Amino acid sequence: MADATTIKPLNRDEEAFLRALGRVITYLPRVVDADMLEEQPISATEYMVLVLRSHPTTGGPGWPFSPAPGGRS
């Protein structure tokens, strides 16, 4: 791992990309939530709770948020 004295600062293009990526990460969940609320009366948070609760709690592949076997949520 490089120490702080050898890390080069970002160039203009890299900095612009990271700023744009930050905006996407900030606004995309809001846009998706607003779209979901327009289509159905359920927020993204409520949807994720339903998705996670509707799957077995075995911690199977593809569900990294599932609790460990025997765990309660």
How many domains, in total, are found in the chain? Answer: 1
Q: Structural domain of residue 23, as residue ranges?
A: 15-53
Per-residue confidence (pLDDT) for residue 12, from 0 to 100: 97
pLDDT at 8 over 80: yes
Is pTM beyond 0.85? Reply is no
Residue 8 lies in a domain: no
Per-residue confidence (pLDDT) for residue 36, from 0 to 100: 82
9-65 pLDDT, tens digit per residue, is: 999 999 999 999 999 999 998 998 888 888 888 888 888 888 888 876 655 555 555
45 or 4: which carries more pLDDT confidence?
Answer: 45
Residue 24 lies in a domain: yes
d(CA 26, CA 22): 6
Residue 22 lies in a domain: yes
Helices (H), 1-73: 12-39, 44-53
